[in-house]
Structures are given as structure tokens and as C-alpha cells.
Structure 1
Amino acid sequence: MQITLENPNTAQKDKLVQTTFSRTNPFQARVLRNVNLNGSGSNKETRHIELSLEGSGLSYVPGDALGIIPSNDPDLVASILEEMNWDEEAVVTINKQGETLPLAEALTNYFEITLLSKKVLQQAAAFTENEELQTLLLVENATQLKAYCYGRDFLDMLREFGPWKATAQEMVAILRKMTPRLYSIASSMAANPEEVHLTIGAVRYTAHGRDRKGVCSISFAERLKEGDTIPVFVQANKHFHLPESSDQDIIMVGPGTGIAPFRSFLQERAMNKVTGRSWLFFGDQHAASDFLYQDELEKYQQDGVLTKLDAAFSRDTAQKVYVQNKMLEHSKELFEWLEKGAYFYVCGDKEYMAKDVNETLINVIENEGSMSHEEAEAYLKDMQKQGRYQRDVY
């Protein structure tokens, strides 16, 4: 066996030129694991993803997010090329720096094609005499314009407002660059060195007569296999993190994929053998098929890492039960935890769940603390100021 000794000067040089990975220079992370967490019969598909950060120098703390720069659905790209009769190999300039790519690759990896904006429609109007589009863009039709953009994409625009008098270059020049998708990290580095885990719900829906797919979630659900790579970077989240003191109690409300950062919290606390108690409220549709990470959570309970676990499954009973119903069920104990200085965390749906949880929390404080509604709101505001009420909602 021949052994070649590395020149120490070369090694030193390599260290000096080591690249720093970031949003503008993402790291190509290899997919180590990609599995569906939902059981048979579920209406949902939630992917548990494990990515390798080996050699990246990237690090994160529980509460941080991972930025992913996804690729567009090849079928959608093919439909655009077909609709416009464009040559997929035609070279287009993609940015002000003058960088170029073949058209199909630019539409797949560089441009945002699944979202429509007022700006895109305004710029596109210069390339068509379509009266419907000109009318839609009138100042008095601002409400209709907003409604039109919602749930539609670049292909809808191309199909509905032609014929187009524009080259492929002129049309792609109105598109914006693909924006990274951010996901709450579902692992602790202490427990998983050089790895990062994610919990991603596959987004599929029908709108305006076409089936639609979430750009990033469906790339994981349908295309990214173990061994493939994807560009990533770490996005710090200073407003959502564990208490500095290990003896603080924490209450976590994370239905559905909102469980992600709390898996990270529990892994971290298990590694650090903290003395503070922890209480998780989890919710989803069916206990049999949608109890994400059930085995792990129950093991944390057995080991004493998770003090209390309350799960709500909305479709298992005639009357729908949600996380906020479970909070009310345990309102006395919940308020006792808050009074003892517990930190309260919420992660998940911003539009409905987070609002309902916020309202329920005020009710719990009001009733159990014998306060007026205003006093309960002030109590919660004070918790927020102390950093004891933290939300990661989307």
C-alpha cells in the first residue's frame, strides 16, 4: 500500500481558500433520506428529509431555517416551451451581469414561473394587443387584477393573453429570479453532526382548471431521490430559539409540519440533559395516519425529555378537535406553567391556527388568572417583551 503524505503548505492554502456557503453561494447538499411520514389512507404527504452538510462548514441552532433553491417542475417548463413554440436550446441572458443559459435550463433553475405579479403582467402587456389584458391593467380594475394573479402562473398568462409579439429573450426578461424557500429545521446539530433534517408537506391543489404543485415540496415528493443534491444555505432566526437557561420550562404548539422546530428543540434538550420541563401540543387529521414522529415523541416521553404530550386529531371525531381545544382542556395547568416562567412557542399556519392559538392563550390567561381581557392581553405582551412568547408562522 502506497501512502502519499500531503504537503502541509498545500493543506494550509486549501484552508485559506475554503469557500463560505451562503444565500448567494449555496452548498450542494446530498439527500441522505427522503421518506413519507404519513400512513396509508392519509389525505396528506409529509416528507421527512435528511441532508448531508459534510464539508460545508455550515452550522445552525434549533429554531433556524434552511433555505432551499428549488427547480421548477419539468412538465410545467415543457408546457411553456410548447405553448410558445420556443426552442429549449436557445440561449438567453438571465441577469444584468450578462450570464446566459439554454432556455429550458433557465426556466427550470433560474426563473420564478409559478407566481404571477402585477409587474409581470404590466411588462407583458407591451408584447400583446389582447384587449382583455389591457382592460385588466386599468387603474380602476386593481381589485380584479389582484384576484387574477392569485393562484395563477406564467403559463396561464401566456395561454390567456396572446398572441404574443415577443422573442423568448424578451419574455423571460420580465420574470424575476427564483426565490429561495425557507423551512424550519427539524434537527439538532448536537444530535446529528453534519446533517440537517426537514419536515415538508407536499403542496398539490387544483385552481383555475389546472392541477398545481408547490415548487419545492413537490421536487422532494416526486423527483429528489437519495444521492441527489440540492442547493441550500442556513438562515438564522434570532426571534425563535430555546431559552438560554436549561432549567426553563417550554410549551410548544406545532400542528402538522409545525412540529419541525420542536423536534429540533427536543433533540437539543435530550443531548444537553436539561432540567426544564417540556410540553408539546401536536395536531393533525387522523391519529392512525398523521401522527408525525409518533414513535420518537413517545420515546422522549418515556425518557423524560418530553414531560407532557397532547395530540388533537380533527377528523377522528364528529366534533373537530384542534390544538387550541387541547389548550383549553388543560387551561389551569397551562397557566400554572406560564406563571412559573415557561416559554410559549407556536409554529405553523399563520392565517388560522396561529390566530386561534393566540386568542385561546389570552382566554386561558384571562380565565385562570382572573383578569380582564385587556389585562390578559397585557400579560401576553409582557411575555413577548421578555422573549417568552415566540412564533414561527408562515
Structure 2
Amino acid sequence: MNLSVSNSPFDTEQATQLNQIIQNLTADQKVWLSGYLTAQQVTTGQEIEEPQQVAEYVLNSEAVNDRHITVLYGSETGNAQSLAEIFADRLVEHNYTVKLSAMDEFKPKELKKVEDIFVITATHGEGDPPDNALTFYEFIHSRKSPKLENVRFSVLALGDESYDQFCQTGKDFDSRLAELGGERLADRQDCDLDFDDPAEQWMNANIELINQSSGHQQVTSTETVQSAKEKRYSKSNPYQAEVLENINLNGRGSNKEVRHVELLLDNYGESFEPGDCVVVVPQNDPEIVSLLIETLGWDTQLEIPINDNGDPLPLENALQDHFEITKLTKPLLQKAAELFENTELIAQVEDESWIKQFIEGRDLIDLLTAFPPSDFQPETLHKLLRKLPPREYSIASSYKATPDEVHITVGAVRYETHERERAGVCSVQLAERVQPGDTIPIYLKKNPNFKFPFDETTPVIMIGPGTGVAPFRSYLQEREELGLTGNTWLFFGEQYFTTDFLYQTEWQAWLKDETLSKLDVAFSRDTDDKVYVQHRIAEHSELFYQWLTDGASLYVCGDEKNMAKDVHETIRYVLEQEGGMSETDAEAYLTQMKKDKRYQRDVY
């Protein structure tokens, strides 16, 4: 029997750690451990139970299970890990032996020993595996992977349907496990950003199938994915945080507006670490909502369903709080063609290149204007639109420094396209419609793949242009509270020194007291030739290489599309130039750094 929050006094993290330890112990080790723990007890007039009796319970508890189940997760920001923990707990309720593991902690040689394997994985960027899934992904797609004729499997894939390679990592695992001879249990489930309900269906389908095959009696569980998540603050159960400060960090005349937002966490009940996130549950701009209702020609107070089963809400509330209306995706256009009964749109969605071009920079209002529906009923709106996704922001403060507060750094997104002004849903809400004293719905989210060392022996290189600098402010605040100095190097970049040097006085103070040992900055618009952080890395290539060979951990946060790729290429160049490596060897070196958790990225 595995430990879980429902059958033990341990929380999810403790139960997971204990299960991983116990499942890797030999019988003799379990006997010794049980005796050791018993000897540590302070008895109150009762005899201490013999160690052998305790050990026999642990060992014999596994005998009731027919097959051993392995649940593996590949997680970039924690969603897949959270679902894997919920699924493992659910399986334990049904009296199965479960091994829960991140993919980078699962030994590939153990794959040939598994019986039932469940893969829960996100897809990162344009179809890439999460960093903690990379090693296992490469192994299972290599010639070294074993045949899996006696293995049953199922895959739960997380993704974002606005990306071309939607859920690609999950699709790859699903097809590869089948190629290796595995027997598929429930079909792969691909989940968009609103994943609770499809994940619930996938879990239930797999549990029913393994119960049928093993003869186990069905256990009625009252806990759903949503209710499990609601034990803590979540999207469906957010914490109403009071806004303490909302400050524009940019100087007068800047092209940008970056907000420093401080939120009160009074009696929140959970701590956080540098690298973790604040998740904000946003609202759509009331002006956009009004324009959309006018375009639709519907009554503002018309009651509409927001899903297949829930109670209806007034149209205005549904559009403001529940539906994504400012972004088009390929699946949305395909559904619109069916629901609008617009012959021109039906013809256009057959052309993949046209879809890709049309959705860029347009929203639902643009779609309705360009392709007016011939018969589109309010009660079908929820079949067209997906839920409004929450926004994640790296925490920019230290729990040790301000345990009752959490700070975030938010760049307001504004631009013009297709003859209309556009704005980021959450960033401009925070910039324009949220004042000190207001409350906003939030929750904290762990980021297990962006964790920092806290010692004075490990060099740390931080690369964070723009708002990407937020987690490094958190980290240095924490180091300051711990009294740690030295071996920290920050690269920061923005447009102009005079208006865009975010948190300038704090970096300078940390340089003075040696919490930060080296700072290099790049202000791209202050010189004729644009200079970015990757240029500063190249300028200091010899010292940068020396830090890497001395065991430095490397952290990159910020824009994925341009900055992160350029930085990666520059670091590879440094390895080639200073280390005499070939391009292939340099890439392999960086891949190994990722596997060793020495190269971590939080990019978006």
C-alpha cells in the first residue's frame, strides 16, 4: 500500500518522497528501517512493537496488488506533476502499488521491469519535451529502449492548442510506447489549458479498465481533480489578495510600462521559494466585452451556459470572467466554421496556411466581423470558446524577507494591429484597472524545474532581461536574508539605461554588500549598434567559460522566441571558442547541464 494524503498523516510531497524511498528498499533494509523508527519512539507505558512485525506489515501490504503501476510525469511548470500526484493517490485508494516519479528521476533500465505505466506530460515551446522529461524521452526513442510486449500504458498530454505542435510530447510518447509493443489502456487524452475535466475522464477510464482486468472492486472516490486541487488555493478556489503597491518601474519617456505589484498574503497558509510563480485569475477588459456583445447583437443580461453541465450566467459576466475572447486558435476557427454556417469560412479553414495567417493578432470580434454567422445561437457559445486561462508571473520577492507579501513584475502589453488597439488581458488589467486597496484572485504555484542552490560554493549565473529578472530579485533577497555572499553573476538587458533599468538601486546595493558579485547590463537603444545580453556574454566569454568549468549553475528567464534561443547559441559559442569543442560536443555539454539541473530555464 502506498502512502497518500488520504491514508496517512503526511502531505503530498512527504508521501511521494517516502513512497519513492520505500519502493527502492530491499526486504532487509525495510526490516532495519522499521526497527530504527520503532527505537526512536517515546513510549508511554506500552511495549515497543517488534521491528519484524512492523516490517512484515509493510512487505505483506504489497501482496494484495496484482500488478505494479508506474506513474511518470514530465512537467515544465508543475501542472503535470500535480495531476500525477492526484492520479497516484487515486490508484492507492484502489489498493494498487504505485511508483510515482519525475521522468528525470526514473532509471531507464527500470523500464523493462514495469507492468502498467502511465505517462502524464506537458509539451514545452514548439513541441519540445519539458527539461525534466528530456533524458527519458531520448532513451525511449533510442535503440536502447526495451520491448514492452507485456506492458500496458496510457498517456495524458498537456498543451496549449494555440501552438502548432499541440501536445506533441504526449503524442510522441503514446506512439513510441505502442511501437515498442505496449498495450494501450485508455486512449491518449490531449488537454488544452483548461485540463481538469478531461484529466478527470482519463483517470476514471484507466482506473475502470485496470479494475476490470484485475478483478478489483470499484472504490467510490468523492474527490475529483478539481476538489483535490481545492484543498489548496487554485483557479477554482483562488485567494483574494489585497494590492499593497502598484508602481510603474519605468522612467518618464520610456517605451515600456513595467509594473511592480505587491500583494498581501495574510494567512495564506503556504510558503514559496525563489523560482515559484503567482498565478493571477484575470478578467477581460469591460470595453472589449461591450464591443463583442454589440457585434453579436445579443442582450447583455441574456443567460447563457458556460459549460455542458453548469448553471447559466448573464452574458456579460460569462464573457468578462470565463471565456477567452482576445485570441484565435486553429481549433476555434474550425469550430466557428461549423457553428457559424458561413460558407466562405468553411472554404477557408481547409487551408492551413490561411488559418495561420488569419489568427495572428486577431480576436473574436475580428472573426465575427470578417465572417458574420448566419445562424449562431447564444446557447452554443460555450462550444466555440475555451476558458480564459490564468496568467503566471515569476515571484520577485523572498518569503524569508517578506512572508506576508508576494511581489510580481509585469510588463504591460499594448500594440496595434488590423486597425485596432490591442492589450494584454492580465497585464493591462493590472496596469490600468487595479489600484492599491483592490483585491485580485490569485494562487501560488510551485515551479519544480527552476530551483536555486543556497550555498556559497556553487557559482550562479543569472540571465534575465526585462521582466525576466523577477526570479533573480527573489533569489538575491533570499540570499541576503541567509547572509550568503559571492559567486553570483547577473546579466540584465533593456532598452534605455535612464528609463528602463529595473530595480537598479537594489542591484547596486547587493553589489556593495557582495550578495551579488558581478553585474553586466545591456541597453539596446543607447548605442547605434543594438547590444543585448548575449553580446555581453560573448564579451566575457573567457570568464563565463571559467565559471561553467568551476561548476556554475546557469539560469535563464524571459522571452523564449528570441532571447532564450540567442542566449543558448551564444553559450554554445563560448564552449566552442574557449573550450575547443565542436558544435555537437558543445550542445551535448549543455544537454548534460540540463540533465544535471545546472542549466534551468523559465521561458515564455
Under a length normalisation based on structure 2, what TM-score does the superposition of the two structures give? Answer: 0.60
**Once the 2 structures are TM-superposed, how far is the Cα of residue 150 of structure 1 from its aligned partner?**
2.1
Q: How far apart are the structure 1 equivalents of 2:339 and 2:490?
A: 55
Checking the alignment, whether the CA contact within 8 Å between 1:83 and 1:158 is kept in structure 2 is yes
Confirm or deny that 1:108 pairs with 2:108: no
**Once the 2 structures are TM-superposed, how far is the Cα of residue 25 of structure 1 from its aligned partner?**
1.4
Q: Give the equivalent residue in structure 1 for 2:50.
A: none
Q: Give the equivalent residue in structure 2 for 1:196.
A: 406
Runs of 4+ in 1 over 6 A off after TM superposition: none
Q: Give the equivalent residue in structure 1 for 2:384.
A: 174
Q: Give the equivalent residue in structure 2 for 1:223.
A: 433
2:575 to 365, 372, 384: 365
Q: How far apart are the structure 2 equivalents of 1:261 and 1:163?
A: 46
Q: Residue 317 of structure 2: SS of its match in structure 1?
A: helix
Q: Residue 407 of structure 2: SS of its match in structure 1?
A: strand
Alignment deviations for residues 27-85 of structure 1 (CA, whole Å, 9 cap, x no partner)? 11111111110101110010111111112213211001111110001110000111122
**Once the 2 structures are TM-superposed, how far is the Cα of residue 126 of structure 1 from its aligned partner?**
3.5
Q: Residue 227 of structure 1: SS of its match in structure 2?
A: coil
Confirm or deny that 1:22 pairs with 2:234: yes
Q: Give the equivalent residue in structure 1 for 2:469.
A: 259
Q: Give the equivalent residue in structure 2 for 1:157.
A: 367
Q: Residue 492 of structure 2: SS of its match in structure 1?
A: strand
Q: Give the equivalent residue in structure 2 for 1:347.
A: 557
Q: Give the equivalent residue in structure 2 for 1:55.
A: 267
Aligned identity (percent) is 51
Cα RMSD (Å) of the superposition? 1.6
Q: How far apart are the structure 2 equivalents of 1:202 and 1:266?
A: 25
Relative to structure 1, the CA distance from residue 293 to residue 230 in structure 2 (aligned partners, 3 Å threshold; closer, same or farther) is same
Q: Give the equivalent residue in structure 2 for 1:98.
A: 310
Alignment deviations for residues 98-141 of structure 1 (CA, whole Å, 9 cap, x no partner)? 22221101100111111112322233234434332111122xx1
Relative to structure 1, the CA distance from residue 70 to residue 314 in structure 2 (aligned partners, 3 Å threshold; closer, same or farther) is same
Confirm or deny that 1:44 pairs with 2:256: yes
Q: Give the equivalent residue in structure 1 for 2:330.
A: 118
Structure 1 residue runs of 5 or longer lacking an equivalent are 1-17
Q: Give the equivalent residue in structure 1 for 2:498.
A: 288
Q: Residue 183 of structure 1: SS of its match in structure 2?
A: strand
Structure 2 residue runs of 5 or longer lacking an equivalent are 1-229
Relative to structure 1, the CA distance from residue 129 to residue 371 in structure 2 (aligned partners, 3 Å threshold; closer, same or farther) is closer
Aligned AA (1:180)? P
Q: How far apart are the structure 2 equivalents of 1:38 and 1:274?
A: 30
Q: Give the equivalent residue in structure 2 for 1:10.
A: none
Confirm or deny that 1:273 pairs with 2:474: no
Aligned AA (1:186)? A
Checking the alignment, whether the CA contact within 8 Å between 1:186 and 1:199 is kept in structure 2 is yes
Q: How far apart are the structure 1 equivalents of 2:581 and 2:331?
A: 49
Confirm or deny that 1:323 pairs with 2:533: yes
Checking the alignment, whether the CA contact within 8 Å between 2:486 and 2:516 is kept in structure 1 is no
Under a length normalisation based on structure 1, what TM-score does the superposition of the two structures give? Answer: 0.91
Relative to structure 1, the CA distance from residue 292 to residue 96 in structure 2 (aligned partners, 3 Å threshold; closer, same or farther) is same
Higher relative contact order (CA 8 A, sep 6+): 1
Q: Give the equivalent residue in structure 1 for 2:507.
A: 297
Checking the alignment, whether the CA contact within 8 Å between 1:63 and 1:237 is kept in structure 2 is yes
2:345 to 133, 137, 151: 133
Confirm or deny that 1:70 pairs with 2:269: no
Q: How far apart are the structure 2 equivalents of 1:36 and 1:96?
A: 42
Q: Give the equivalent residue in structure 2 for 1:377.
A: 587
Aligned AA (2:366)? D
**Once the 2 structures are TM-superposed, how far is the Cα of residue 350 of structure 1 from its aligned partner?**
0.5
Q: How far apart are the structure 2 equivalents of 1:190 and 1:237?
A: 18
Q: How far apart are the structure 2 equivalents of 1:57 and 1:310?
A: 38
Aligned AA (1:204)? R
Q: Give the equivalent residue in structure 2 for 1:235.
A: 445
Checking the alignment, whether the CA contact within 8 Å between 1:21 and 1:58 is kept in structure 2 is no
Alignment deviations for residues 166-223 of structure 1 (CA, whole Å, 9 cap, x no partner)? 2322234421111111111111111111211111111011112211110010101110
Aligned AA (1:80)? L
Q: How far apart are the structure 2 equivalents of 1:303 and 1:55?
A: 33
Between Structure 1 and Structure 2, how many residues are aligned? 375
Alignment deviations for residues 238-280 of structure 1 (CA, whole Å, 9 cap, x no partner)? 1111115443111100001110111111111111112441110
Checking the alignment, whether the CA contact within 8 Å between 1:67 and 1:183 is kept in structure 2 is yes
